[in-house]
Amino acid sequence: MIHNRAAWIPQVRGQLEVRDGPEPQVGEFDVLIENKAVAINPVDWKIRDFNVLGKKYPIIIGEDVSGNVVEVGSSVTKVKKGDRVLAYCIGLGTNKPINAGFQNYSVVPEITLSPFPESMSYEQAAVVPLGVSTASAGLYQKDCLNLPYPKPGSREPTGTSILVWGSSGSVGANAVQLAAASGVHVVATCSKKNADFVKGLGAKHVVDYNDESSVDQIVEALQGTKFVGAYDSICLENTWKACGAVAEKMGGGLIIGTLQPPENIELGEGVKAKGVFAITIALQQPEVGNAIFRDYLPAALKSGEYKAKPDPKVVGHGLESIADGFAAQKKGVSAAKVVVTL
């Protein structure tokens, strides 16, 4: 029998407590993973400190894991026992503790996991799942930017373009890589120090968002392309507005945000905005989850054309270190993802 331990948040603003976790039950389409590394996301400390999603406590959270497959459900075809996998844990959507990531064992639906190659470490693999899922929701869902799916080994130019605002973070770096792999001309913003990193992800032009003329520089870099819209991974009032200014100058477009747009915000003529939730690629539009986690990532990670970025910043080992991970993520990271090994 498996003895599962988990890092629980006992109550809002409570200290993480490591104690026994739920016993795994593996459904037909589920995979049981023994976790070897987990990554920390902004939503984790936002749930602990502000209960941003209105959850009941005590709760186990955690979205990003990598580890080894221990058991598969009867209808699972993607992976088998012993495979190394990275997985987006969707406990925040199912509200089942065993579907969360901050524990020794997690049960994950097949749709949100991919095998990863021997050349990648567990620490590297853990940085991918939520970033790639959130990016995919905004880029590929029909009611979002609706880009063509990426195909391993091919990036036929489509003639279309997007802007990615905040491209050195987890969501932004994955959005740049995916859109470039879809053959889209990507113009991206980040701090000056991260420009080479973002170019290496496939952005055609990188603009420093601190520069006063950033909007004009972006518009110039988009000339000659068919502008589809913007992906704002930061979602501050000024980043929504800057994306809106670009879109208006380009004749209109859709701005996708990782948070909901502020009510009554004026973004310009012909400009629409909406926020996305990563979970929708598993629960509402599973064709997107399959296109990325089944049809693209396994091959693209193996060939090296898709990179696990931004790099992991390992802050400790063991479930007890996840609290340190929350502190490091909350303090702020630049082109790095906070990881704890297990």
Q: Give the footprint of ligand NAP on this chain (CB under 6 A).
A: 41-43, 130, 134, 166, 168-172, 190-191, 194, 209, 233-234, 236, 239, 258-259, 276-278, 333-335
CA distance 2 to 190: 44
**Please, what is the minimum distance in Å from the beta carbon of residue 167 to ligand NAP?**
8
Q: Which is nearer to ligand NAP, 69 or 314 (CB)?
A: 314
Q: Given the complex with ligand NAP, which of 3 and 331 has the nearer CB atom? A: 331
How would you class 15 by CB atoms within 10 Å of its CB: exposed for 0-12, middle for 13-18, buried for 19 or more? exposed
Given the complex with ligand NAP, which of 213 and 303 has the nearer CB atom? 213
Which one-letter DSSP state was computed for residue 127?
A: T
CB of 229 to ligand NAP, least distance (A): 17
- The reply to whether omega before 261 is within 30° of 0 (cis) is no
Specify burial of residue 10 (Cβ count, 10 A radius: 0-12, 13-18, 19+): middle
Nearer to ligand NAP, 21 or 229 (CB): 229
Nearest residue to ligand NAP on Cβ basis = 169
* Closest CB 112 distance from ligand NAP, rounded Å: 12
**Nearer to ligand NAP among residue 35 and residue 168 (C-beta):** 168
**Smallest separation, CB 144 to ligand NAP (Å):** 12
In the chain, the largest separation of any two C-alpha atoms, in whole Å, equals: 61
User: What is the Cα–Cα distance from 118 to 16, expressed in whole angstroms?
Assistant: 32
Q: Is 176 left (phi over 0), alpha (psi -120 to 50) or beta?
A: alpha
**Torsion sign over Cα 24, 29, 35, 39:** negative
What beta strand segments (E) does the chain contain?
5-8, 17-20, 30-39, 64-72, 84-88, 105-109, 113-115, 160-165, 185-190, 205-208, 226-232, 253-257, 271-275, 312-317, 337-341
Task: Return the number of the residue (63 or 305) whose C-beta is nearest ligand NAP.
Answer: 63
SS (H, E, C) 133-172: HHHHHHHHCCCCCCCCCCECCECCCCCEEEEEECCCCHHH
Residue 16 C-beta: closest distance to ligand NAP, Å: 19
| 121 vs 134, beta carbon nearer ligand NAP | 134
User: What's the min distance (Å) between Cβ of 251 and ligand NAP?
Assistant: 25
CB of 121 to ligand NAP, least distance (A): 19
Q: Which of 226, 170, 227, 173 is nearest to 200 (CA)?
A: 173
